[in-house]
Structure 1
Amino acid sequence: MPELEHQSRSFDDVDSAHEWFAEYFPERRFGVDQDGRFGVRVSMSTSGRFSFIDSAWTAPGTATGGTHELTVISGAGRGYRLTQGPTDLDACQPLLAPADGLAVRWEERRTSVVALEFAAVERIARAATGYDALRLRRTGLVANSPELADHWVTVLRGIRSSLAREPGLLDAPLVANATFHHLATAFLHAFPTNWLESPDERRGGSAVVRRAIEYMHAHAGEPITITDVASAVFISTRGLHFAFTRELGESPAQVLRRIRLEGARSDLRAAGADATVAKVARAWGFAHHQRFADSYRRAFGERPSETLRSR
Structure 2
Amino acid sequence: MTGLSRAALALRDPEEAERALADYFPSLQLGRAEPGTFRSWISTTTASQFSLVDYGFASAGSATAGSDDLVVIASAGQGYVIRDGRNVIDTTQPFLSPDEGLVARWDTLDARVLMLSGTSVERVAQAASGRDDFRLVRRGTAPVSQERARYWAAVVRGVRDTVADAPDAFDSPLVAEAAFHHLATAFLHVFPTSWIDLPEPGRVPGTASVISRSAIEFMRAHAGQPITMEQVAASASVSTRGLHRAFVHELGEPPAAYLRRLRLQGARIDLLAADHAVTVVTVARRWGFAHASRFAQAYRRAFGEYPSETLRR
With the length of structure 2 as denominator, give the TM-score of the two structures.
Answer: 0.64
Residue 16 of structure 1 aligns with which residue? 16
Structure 1: any 5+ residue segments left out of the alignment?
199-205, 220-229, 237-311
Residue 46 of structure 1 aligns with which residue? 46
Would you say the 8 A contact 1:14–1:32 is kept in 2? no
Residue 180 of structure 1 aligns with which residue? 180
Residue 135 of structure 1 aligns with which residue? 135
Tell me the CA shift for residue 24 of structure 1.
2.5
Residue 167 of structure 1 aligns with which residue? 167
Residue 117 of structure 1 aligns with which residue? 117
Letter in 2 for 1:210: P
Tell me the CA shift for residue 231 of structure 1.
7.5
| Structure 2 counterparts to residues 181-260 of structure 1, below 5 A | 181-198=181-198, 206=199, 209-211=200-202, 214=203, 232-233=241-242
For the residue of structure 2 that corresponds to 1:20, the secondary structure is helix
Q: Deviations over 1:5-36 (max 9, x none)?
A: 11001111111112222232111111124686
Q: Deviations over 1:285-306 (max 9, x none)?
A: xxxxxxxxxxxxxxxxxxxxxx
Q: Distance in 2 between matches of 1:47 and 1:35?
A: 32
Residue 257 of structure 1 aligns with which residue? none
Report percent identity of matched pairs. Answer: 38
Would you say the 8 A contact 2:10–2:41 is kept in 1? yes
Q: Deviations over 1:193-239 (max 9, x none)?
A: 102434xxxxxxx2xx134xx36xx88xxxxxxxxxx9854689xxx
Tell me the CA shift for residue 104 of structure 1.
0.9
Letter in 2 for 1:19: R
Letter in 1 for 2:48: G
With the length of structure 1 as denominator, give the TM-score of the two structures.
Answer: 0.64
Would you say the 8 A contact 2:2–2:172 is kept in 1? no
Residue 81 of structure 1 aligns with which residue? 81
Q: Distance in 1 between matches of 2:174 and 2:116?
A: 18
Matched, 1:95 2:95: yes
Would you say the 8 A contact 2:70–2:96 is kept in 1? yes
Q: Distance in 2 between matches of 1:146 and 1:233?
A: 28
Change in Cα spacing, 1:118 to 1:231, as seen in structure 2 (3 Å) is closer
Tell me the CA shift for residue 4 of structure 1.
1.0
Q: Distance in 2 between matches of 1:161 and 1:151?
A: 15
Q: Distance in 1 between matches of 2:145 and 2:105?
A: 25
Q: Distance in 2 between matches of 1:40 and 1:122?
A: 33
Residue 28 of structure 1 aligns with which residue? 28
For the residue of structure 1 that corresponds to 2:167, the secondary structure is coil
Aligned residues: 215
Letter in 2 for 1:128: A
Change in Cα spacing, 1:234 to 1:56, as seen in structure 2 (3 Å) is farther
Change in Cα spacing, 1:188 to 1:235, as seen in structure 2 (3 Å) is farther
Change in Cα spacing, 1:91 to 1:59, as seen in structure 2 (3 Å) is same
Letter in 1 for 2:125: A
Change in Cα spacing, 1:172 to 1:35, as seen in structure 2 (3 Å) is closer
Change in Cα spacing, 1:172 to 1:61, as seen in structure 2 (3 Å) is same
Letter in 2 for 1:87: N
For the residue of structure 1 that corresponds to 2:156, the secondary structure is helix
Would you say the 8 A contact 2:94–2:149 is kept in 1? yes
Would you say the 8 A contact 2:130–2:240 is kept in 1? no
Tell me the CA shift for residue 86 of structure 1.
1.6
Q: C-alpha root-mean-square deviation of aligned residues, in Å?
A: 2.5
Q: Distance in 2 between matches of 1:31 and 1:235?
A: 49
Would you say the 8 A contact 1:128–1:235 is kept in 2? no
Larger radius of gyration: 1
Would you say the 8 A contact 1:58–1:109 is kept in 2? yes
